[in-house]
A and B are shown apart, each in its own frame.
Chain A
Amino acid sequence: MISKGKTDQVTINLDGNDVEVPAGMNLVDAVALHGKEIPHYCYHPQLSVAGNCRMCLIEMGTPMRDRGTGEAIVEEDGSPKIGWVPKPVIGCGTNVSPGMHVKTESDLVTDCREGIMEFLLVNHPLDCPICDQAGECRLQEFATDYGRGYSRYKERKNVKPKRTRLGPRVTLDDERCILCSRCIRFSQEVAKDDVLGFVDRGSFSTLTCFPGKELANNYSLNTVDICPVGALTSTDFRFKMRVWFLKETMSICAESSAGCNTLVSSREGVIHRITPRRNDAVNDSWMTDSGRALYKRIDSDDRLKFPLVDQEKSSLEDALAASISLLKDKRVGIVGSCKSTVEEQYLLNRLAKETKAKKYLRGHFGEDDGILLSADRTPNLRGALITGLASSYPKENLNLLGQALKKGQLDTLIVVGEDLMDAKVDAELLSDIQIIYLGTHENATSTLAQVVIPTLTPFEKSGSFVNRSFFLQGFKQAVPGLAGLLPDISILVRLINELNGEAELSSDLSAVWKMMARSSTSPLKGLSFSDFKKDGIELDGSKWDELPFVEQKALHYEPTAELTTD
């Protein structure tokens, strides 16, 4: 993550030790910097402070000052006299100030936590054996730390609705709800779709949608993520899988140029869910609902599962050989893709050089929601600019390609993922040329192609994307690709090596990066894949400031072009 200038540090006394923390920081976060945890439920660093769970109660004091003179009062030994707040205070409602004293481990604090834990559990159903949240439940975690181990509660528990449909993707179990209001605040503050609220009073308070409304916005599943307990559940994931069986892979959402950081959860090569991964410079802790569904395309009916030559099933070797013969000494055109990774775009550009090909690129644009679904519906348009695959800002059509075809300037076309007819290229113009199609799914163009080489989805390969803010972000392979298929970069490297015997490229990711980082004019200069495995790197995109980027002002994104036109 990029640090935006150094913030001022202040010294606070944490359980007897003086420690440095950024000035004004929320105490819960400040304490975490020093390896201590203040347990909490309602507090979320990216939402307003509600202070209602009371789990984060701590003892706090500040240096005393004389009311008249304003001078600091000191103890006999010269140390500042601390005025302790007589009651425990909530950590989440406290911002650090110089000289503040904090106790997070005192008997009173422990007693508070144990008390709150007991209260939270008295009306909480013992659903853990069937609860989806089990294994990643804050209530379970803190019950281990501060729970009594047995219940003093002999009365009847409250009964509430167990399966309320809040919206198309979210199901609510009200009995499990601890009324932390995170979901309500998220809906109001982030999704800007104020549909959730509490009805009834006291312990009978119940989360619900406002009459006539439902939680249907494209961010509804974030409420499930931030729910500290198993109250809000994903209707899709509900009862499907125990979370401790899931392998989590750091990934990047390929839905749009927002580049949400994600975690792909899979078991035995099958993806079960995608959740957002916190990145305060890109997506905070959020992602769209639509982005979470992308993995379902992995084994859809139209997925290309084996190579085709003349629309007949063939081996990969035969398909590659057929491709070479269609490329050698031919007038080649290449239709690249803004959905390809930086590495693939670099290699495709290299292939274009080897074949002296004309390059074409189209954009996929939609409506910008001003949050995390940007108008550019491809993850890596800026990667195409950086790698040189694109020399100008792509249009939504391929009219230039159409003109070239009309003039009979091309013999062979390599198409990566795009559907030419969808990009306004007349199908008749394609009848005289040979098409090599590289892509994950069948489309009208692939059915016309002489050679079809299936490629992998972002979940099945590693690579990197450059998002709308020029953040270069890497992602790792989450699940194995389909049997017999190779990663896109291997296919491209094979084609380049076959066409140019002296190229001798390696299809290893780090080797590709070594080549990419060699150019002294590229923003990628000197980088390697391991540099941005975890957090992204902000690249210098000022070179392209004048381009008409379609994205609008959104979460962590300020359009540059707009500034110049104003």
Chain B
Amino acid sequence: MITKNSPKEHRIILKYADDPNYSNRLGCYLREGGYEMLRKALKMKPEEIGEEVLKSGVRGRGGAGFPAGMKWKFLDRKSGKPIYLICNADESEPGTFKDRQIMHKDPHQLIEGMMIAAYAIQAKQAFIYIRAEFFEGARILERAIAEAKEKGFCGEKILGSDYSCDLVVHRGAGAYICGEETGLIESLEGKRPNPRIKPPFFPAVLGLYQCPTIVNNVETLCNVKHVLEMGGDEFAKIGKPNNTGTRIWCVSGQVKKPGYYEFECGALTLGEMIFDVCGGLLPGRSLKAVIPGGSSAKILRADERFVGKHKDGTDFDWGIEDIPLDFDGPMAAGSMSGSGGIIVMDDTVDIVEAMANVNAFYAHESCGQCTPCREGCLWMKKITKRMCDGDAREEDPDMLLSIANQIEGRTICAFGEAAAWPTQSFIAKFRDEFVKKAKPSKRSKNSLQLI
């Protein structure tokens, strides 16, 4: 279903990202009007900024898609304890590489967004928690922060106002679970990143050092700057209701032009993304499956139909190409847009091997704190590994499904779902391939037990 007019990118966050005349230095950022929004913000009341963000409807870009303005509202401001802002730059979801682009190419945009957000929530201290593997990103951010500090954009008495907030970069040590906000907080405190139980440890009340804390994704915080620039109401006009703003989609897998693409929410469909924007599949290949939101999102099979009702009561009947790329589209199709990592698989992909890859990842990254995830992930990995090693058994698909069902919804953090959903959806949609892997037994069922 190739459309003739390829949809145009609408770049807000990545506006200057690929401009050859643009660098990640402060001078360049100021030339393009940088830090003017921070100047504007400091003249506003903090709660006014929060209102604008709430009005904008901007949803978290980290994966869960929770409205950022709402998150800020949950903040416990009465405790008298210091408030902390943390930028989640752990970007560890397989298939996602958008935050890296922002930090590498436009770090000051993130710093400005963060300082506006920090002022809005009256944070005492702000952190950027960046994954260990982004050493270049950490270096760039540290240099950018130093530049910004020198000009008074962060640190003591920002731009001559009474508001002070320091910003530091904290590097992780290489663990997926540090992207989970309470795991991140534990890690930032210098501990093993075991996610905390909720209740009672909701970050907005008992976060970093048991103080109220807001954790936002890199892209979300950048959006704060643009919300302020446009005004919440104007921002809300971008995209669709409940799916406002733009999203950066990271397309990987077997397409001709993988990469990051920023579009208005709902401005294009998955089909347009794959076949137009990314130049289609490799020659002679056909589409087999797509994971629309990072490896933990449920897989979509190329030839299935997605039928259901929208919230407003209207019916939809989509093929995989028709799924609109926003927050609600992939959700309606039974998956999620997650962190925006679209993984495309063509007919050369062995689905069991793909499953084995995903399972190996989750088994390696499970923190090991709670039982279902710790034991279930490794068990699933061992089974899929064995299946790929030529020892698949007939009962394996049911076994995998049963294990995944025993994990889902029973863990401390969302890692349980992240690890269970792939298995559940892979088996549900490609059971035939799993069954095929099992060698037909040469011995008759009635034969005697071997000694």
Contacts and interface: CB of A to CB of B under 8 A. Distances in A.
A88 B409 contact: yes
Interface in B350-391: 363-372, 374-379, 382-383, 386
Given A52-B412, A87-B409, A203 B378 contact: yes
B376 A119 contact: yes
A393 to B, nearest CB: 44
B284 interface: no
3 shortest interchain CB distances as A-B pairs: A115-B406, A205-B368, A119-B375
Contacts of B382: 155-156
A371 to B, nearest CB: 25
Nearest to B396: A154
Contact of A201 (B366, B372, B376, B410): B366
B368 A87 contact: no
B364 A202 contact: yes
Contact of A93 (B175, B197, B366, B372): B197
A54 B376 contact: no
B192 interface: yes
Interface string A129-155: 000000000000000000000001111
Contact of A51 (B197, B367, B386, B399): B197
A204 interface: yes
Interface string A81-122: 000000110100100000000000000000110011011101
Given A93-B199, A119-B375, A203 B406 contact: no
A52 B369 contact: yes
A233 to B, nearest CB: 22
B411 interface: yes
A264 interface: no
B67 to A, nearest CB: 16
Nearest to A118: B406
A264 B369 CA distance: 35
Nearest to A179: B368
A187 to B, nearest CB: 15
A51 B370 CA distance: 8
B375 A203 contact: yes
Interface in A178-210: 178-179, 197-198, 200-205
Contacts of B410: 54, 57, 87-88, 112, 115-116
Given A51-B197, A87-B410, A88-B409, A116 B399 contact: no
B379 A155 contact: yes
Given A118-B406, A120-B375, A202-B363, A53 B370 contact: yes
B412 A51 contact: yes
A537 to B, nearest CB: 37
Contacts of B363: 202-203
Q: Number of contact residues on B: which range applies?
A: 20 to 34
A49 interface: yes
A197 B192 contact: yes
Given A93-B199, A115-B372, A152-B399, A202 B365 contact: yes
Contacts of A378: none
B439 to A, nearest CB: 15
A423 to B, nearest CB: 51
B434 to A, nearest CB: 16
A429 B363 CA distance: 77
Contacts of B374: 119, 179, 202-203, 205
Given A178-B371, A201-B364, A202-B366, A119 B386 contact: no
A487 to B, nearest CB: 51
B51 to A, nearest CB: 20
Contacts of A155: 379, 382-383, 386
Max chain B CB contacts within 10 Å: which of A122, A197, A203? A203
* Prevailing SS type, chain A contact patch: loop
A434 interface: no
Contacts of B393: 154
Given A51-B412, A90-B197, A155-B383, A119 B372 contact: yes
A197 B367 CA distance: 13
B371 A201 contact: no
B181 to A, nearest CB: 17
A51 B199 CA distance: 10
Given A90-B197, A155-B383, A178-B371, A202 B377 contact: yes
Contact of A54 (B192, B370, B386): B370
Given A116-B406, A123-B378, 20 more contacts: A51-B197, A51-B370, A52-B369, A53-B370, A53-B371, A54-B371, A54-B411, A87-B410, A88-B409, A90-B197, A118-B406, A122-B375, A122-B379, A152-B399, A154-B393, A198-B368, A200-B368, A203-B374, A204-B368, A205-B368
Contacts of B194: 52
Contacts of A153: 379
Contacts of A200: 368
A18 to B, nearest CB: 24
A203 B371 CA distance: 9
Contacts of B386: 155
A120 B371 contact: yes
Interface string A44-62: 0000011111110100000
B367 A201 contact: yes
B388 to A, nearest CB: 13
A483 to B, nearest CB: 53
Nearest to A199: B192
13 contacts: A49-B197, A50-B197, A54-B371, A57-B410, A88-B410, A155-B383, A158-B378, A179-B368, A198-B192, A201-B364, A202-B365, A202-B377, A203-B366
Contacts of B368: 179, 198, 200-205
A50 B364 CA distance: 22
A200 B199 CA distance: 27
A153 B375 CA distance: 11
Contacts of A87: 409-410
Contacts of A118: 406
B397 to A, nearest CB: 13
Max chain B CB contacts within 10 Å: which of A54, A55, A87? A54
Interface in A369-415: none
Contacts of B399: 152
Max chain A CB contacts within 10 Å: which of B375, B382, B410? B375
Contacts of A179: 368-369, 371, 374
B372 A202 contact: no
Interface string B185-214: 000000010100101100000000000000
Interface in A336-383: none
Max chain B CB contacts within 10 Å: which of A52, A57, A88? A52
A156 B399 CA distance: 16
B39 to A, nearest CB: 38
B392 to A, nearest CB: 12
A532 to B, nearest CB: 38
A202 B371 contact: no
Contact of B375 (A51, A123, A156): A123
Contacts of B175: 201
A93 B195 CA distance: 14
Nearest to B411: A54
Interface in B383-423: 383, 386, 393, 399, 402, 406, 409-412
Given A116-B410, A201-B175, A202-B365, A52 B378 contact: no
A50 B378 CA distance: 22
